[in-house]
Amino acid sequence: MLVIVAPGQGAQTPGFLSPWLEVDGVADRLRAWSEVVGLDLVHYGTEASEEEIKDTAVAQPLLVAAGLVTAGALLPEGLPAVAGAVAGHSVGEITAAAASGVLSADDALVFVRERSLAMAGAAAATATGMAAVLGGDPEVVAAKLAEHGLTAANNNGGGQIVAAGTLEQLEALKADPPAGARLIPLKVAGAFHTEHMAPGVERLAKLAPTLTTADPSVAYVSNRDGEVVQSGAEVLDRLVSQVSNPVRWDLCMETIQQLGATAVIELSPAGTLTNLVKRNVKGVATLALKTPADLEKARGLVAEHGGQEQNA
């Protein structure tokens, strides 16, 4: 069974969309979506600096647009014909929602633009941040985060936890880290997927009723708990609350395995999630769809693994 996954914020790199502009229709779609989000997506995906595309208000719409144009290049007939499931990490869940038909591409981009502005605004209200905690005993790590008032905002499996909170709390953790763990500060604007993002949830809750949803055309695996969500309305509700809820990618990978995945393809800008899947889901073929040069191999995986039934 083939699973399509979409990466989250931080996966973008300067110029990553440049080679994709050579694919028929990609530039036109990006220009059309630029009008929807009020950003020049072609510029940000090809010419903008690392600092420019690090901006939450830019990065999130750029990632969703990139995922959708690369999904279209790989699967012009759409996911249902070949994929058994879809999942995304954080903002990548919006890409997954559009790819599985829960939202139209335009509505997904309207939603992600509002999400990016809401999260940037919430991040500006308080000095917060995030740090990766690598290794250590999970219970010891959890206890240490709780001791310093931090939230495990992401659980990426394989001993990768992302701690989030105020800069003071993160400094305290740096001075008193969990035994056997290594800390890596992350270059993000705030404590995403924590209570600090509550104002963003309120803002998105006002937008949600204006959007039209449909039930997902393939199994949609949710960040909240790794569960397969069958209702489009519930997917949208979860996308709203996800802004202040932890990302349980570890549980998503468990579900992907339980569904019977035999291959996972990650949409551009790819690499992060396929690396996590390689480490945590054994016996599954993976492919990071980074440039059009990867399309031939990706189509080979689609031909070999697409259209298979998922496990009950």
| Predicted confidence (pLDDT) per residue in 230-242, tens digit | 999 999 999 999 9
Whole-prediction pTM value? 0.94
Q: Is the peptide bond preceding residue 269 cis, with omega within 30 degrees of 0?
A: yes
Q: Where in the chain is the domain with CATH 3.40.366.10?
A: 2-124+195-305
Which tens digits make up the pLDDT trace of 59-80?
999 999 999 999 999 999 888 8
| Residues 199-213, mean pLDDT to the nearest whole number | 95
| Residues 43-68, mean pLDDT to the nearest whole number | 96
State yes or no: is 90 an active-site residue. Answer: yes
Predicted confidence at residue 137, as pLDDT, reads: 92
Which tens digits make up the pLDDT trace of 235-263?
999 999 999 999 999 999 999 999 999 99
Of the listed 89, 193, 196, 305, which one is catalytic?
Answer: 193
Predicted confidence at residue 98, as pLDDT, reads: 98
Q: Where in the chain is the domain with CATH 3.30.70.250?
A: 127-185
Q: pLDDT band for 158, please (50, 70, 90 cuts).
A: confident
Predicted confidence at residue 112, as pLDDT, reads: 98
Predicted confidence at residue 255, as pLDDT, reads: 97
pLDDT at residue 312 greater than cutoff 60: no
pLDDT at residue 223 greater than cutoff 60: yes
pLDDT at residue 308 greater than cutoff 90: no
Predicted confidence at residue 309, as pLDDT, reads: 66
| CATH, range 2-124+195-305 | 3.40.366.10
Q: pLDDT band for 81, please (50, 70, 90 cuts).
A: confident
User: Which amino acid is it at 181?
Assistant: A
Query: Please, what is the Cα angle at 106 between 2 and 270, to 5 degrees?
Result: 40
Residue matched to tokens 């790590």: 141
Q: For the domain 127-185, what is the CATH superfamily, name and number? A: Malonyl-CoA ACP transacylase, ACP-binding (3.30.70.250)
Predicted confidence at residue 209, as pLDDT, reads: 97
| Residues 29-49, mean pLDDT to the nearest whole number | 97
pLDDT at residue 310 greater than cutoff 80: no
Which tens digits make up the pLDDT trace of 272-287?
999 999 999 999 999 9
- 291: Cα separation from own chain's centroid: 18
Of the listed 34, 90, 100, 222, which one is catalytic?
Answer: 90
| Residues 128-147, mean pLDDT to the nearest whole number | 94
